[in-house]
């Protein structure tokens, strides 16, 4: 998701989040994600990250240090993903 948050718009206009959300829904068909939807979205992102790390390590033969530099992930994250895959 990109752009300005609903909270920031509300603060700037001196309003609460609820009327801003209603206007966005009416005008643009905007739908605010539920907590579970946000968690599911985060999990899908993590799964994609894990797959890229596994592919780089097992298929391309890159080292853990190379993967941390390429993908900008902490070496603990890379080690955890690799150890879970083995």
pLDDT for the residue 65: 97
**pLDDT per residue as tens, the chain (86 positions):** 567 888 888 899 999 988 888 887 788 766 677 889 889 988 998 999 999 999 999 999 999 999 999 999 999 999 999 999 88
Separation of CA 28 from chain center = 23
pLDDT for the residue 41: 86
Alpha helices in 1-86 (DSSP H): 6-13, 17-28, 35-54, 64-71, 75-85
pLDDT for the residue 2: 64
Q: Which contacts of 43-52 are long-range, i.e. CB under 8 A and separated by 24 or more positions?
A: 49/73, 49/81, 50/81, 50/84, 50/85
Single out the residue of 46, 64, 48, 58 nearest to residue 85, CA to CA: 58
The 3-state DSSP class for residue 25 equals: helix
pLDDT for the residue 30: 65
């Amino acid at each position: 998701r990109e752009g300005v948050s609903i909270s920031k718009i509300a603060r700037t206009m001196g309003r609460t989040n609820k009327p801003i959300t209603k206007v966005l829904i009416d005008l643009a068909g905007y739908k605010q994600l539920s907590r579970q939807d946000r968690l599911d979205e985060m999990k899908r992102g993590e799964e994609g990250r894990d797959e890229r790390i596994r592919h780089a390590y097992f298929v391309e033969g890159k080292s853990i240090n190379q993967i941390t530099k390429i993908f900008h992930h902490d070496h603990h994250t890379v080690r955890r993903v690799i150890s879970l895959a083995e």
